[in-house]
Amino acid sequence: MKVSEIANGSEVKIHAAISGHSIVVMTEAIFGVSAGLLVKPMEYFGKYMQFLEPSSVSIRNKRDGRVYKFMSTTITPVKTRYGNFHLIRSSSALTPENSRKAERFYIEKLGLISINGNNMDLKNCIVHDISMRGISLLVDNTTSLKLGDTIDVMFRYGAMLHNYELSTKVVRNFEVNGKKAVGCSISNLNVDLIGLLVSKKNEGKTKLDEIPETILNPSIPEKDQIKEVEEDIAKDIIPERPRTLTISSVGTNPFDPKNLEHITDKTLRQAKQEERMAKQAKEIENLLDLRDI
């Protein structure tokens, strides 16, 4: 998959480093163009951010619900007839996260377990997550389990509280937020369990016909909007902003207030508040004028 094939509205996370400190910037996909992916503009105190060094990007694609990770070459502001946006460019193909691992789905449901076939001594557990290959269980601290123990798990899930039963074997012990947990391999992958996994996988997807078009210009279809944006990007016009904020892994921290030359004695919040008050005063003045009439 190419970065330009990401669906509209997908969540975009940009991971960058400044002087050894990691930052995460979030935005949202508009649509793909031939040069890359157009996303909502990213600003910091009125400055457009730009990433001229390769940055790690992860995107949760609305079309298939999967997370894709890749390295961008540049992320720069672009000017179009519909306003200013950012363009993510990448020369590498996008690879899905955990493409070689079984996808895990969180359940977080109360269940019952029997250990080594002892059905007379049922114990409570919490089914933490599940995949095609295994299941994670949170158990009581008094429950003793060792590698190789067999565990029969029973739990209810879904709107109809369907009962699921499966046989597992303990393969590791670990902790989840300080609670005792075991990871188990699944011995009997039955039809019920496959149906549950398929339904959980579909929960994260957006149907193709439900992915909304991006309306930058309601009078023309999306493909024509993309064509017009591509024409504007080809002109390589710099957005009408006095400065941009370059994110670099070396050098000074651009987020340091002393490096933000455009900041005056008034904070951004104060400036917006004064603007709102002035607008309200103008509206009151107009009302008074109408009263006199």
Instruction: Write the pLDDT tens digit of every residue in 216-256.
Output: 888 888 889 999 999 988 887 666 655 677 877 766 666 66
What's the half-sphere exposure (Cβ side, CA atoms, 13 Å) at 182?
23
pLDDT of res. 290: 53
Summarize the confidence of residues 196-201 as an average pLDDT: 82
Q: Is the distance from CB of 155 to CB of 127 less than 8 angstroms?
A: yes
Name which of 56-65, 123-132, 136-145 the model is least confident about: 56-65
* pLDDT greater than 60 at residue 267: no
92/250: higher pLDDT: 92
Report residue 288: phi and psi, to 5°: -65, -35
pLDDT of res. 279: 81
* pLDDT greater than 50 at residue 265: no
Summarize the confidence of residues 155-180 as an average pLDDT: 90
pTM over 0.85: no
Summarize the confidence of residues 155-171 as an average pLDDT: 91
Summarize the confidence of residues 13-27 as an average pLDDT: 83
Q: Is the distance from CB of 105 to CB of 139 less than 8 angstroms?
A: no
Rounded Cα distance, 104 and 129, in Å: 6
Closest CA to 25 of 36, 10, 41: 41
Can you tell me whether residue 259 is helix, strand or coil? helix
Rounded Cα distance, 255 and 147, in Å: 50
pLDDT of res. 283: 75
Summarize the confidence of residues 39-44 as an average pLDDT: 90
* Strands of the sheet with 244-246, listed across from one edge: 43-44, 47-50, 244-246
pLDDT of res. 185: 93
211/87: higher pLDDT: 87
pLDDT of res. 46: 80
* pLDDT greater than 80 at residue 259: no
Rounded Cα distance, 46 and 93, in Å: 33
Summarize the confidence of residues 8-26 as an average pLDDT: 84
Most confident listed range (6-10, 60-64, 256-260, 286-290): 6-10
pLDDT of res. 149: 94
Rounded Cα distance, 21 and 18, in Å: 5
* pLDDT greater than 70 at residue 206: no
First to last CA, the chain: 65
pLDDT of res. 52: 87
Amino acid letter, residue 137: L
pLDDT of res. 17: 76
Rounded Cα distance, 28 and 9, in Å: 6
Confidence of residue 101 (pLDDT cuts 50, 70, 90): low
pLDDT of res. 196: 86
241/137: higher pLDDT: 137
Query: With DSSP H G I counted as helix, E B as strand and the rest as coil, what are the percentages for the chain, rounded to 5?
Result: 20, 40, 40
Mean pLDDT of the chain: 82
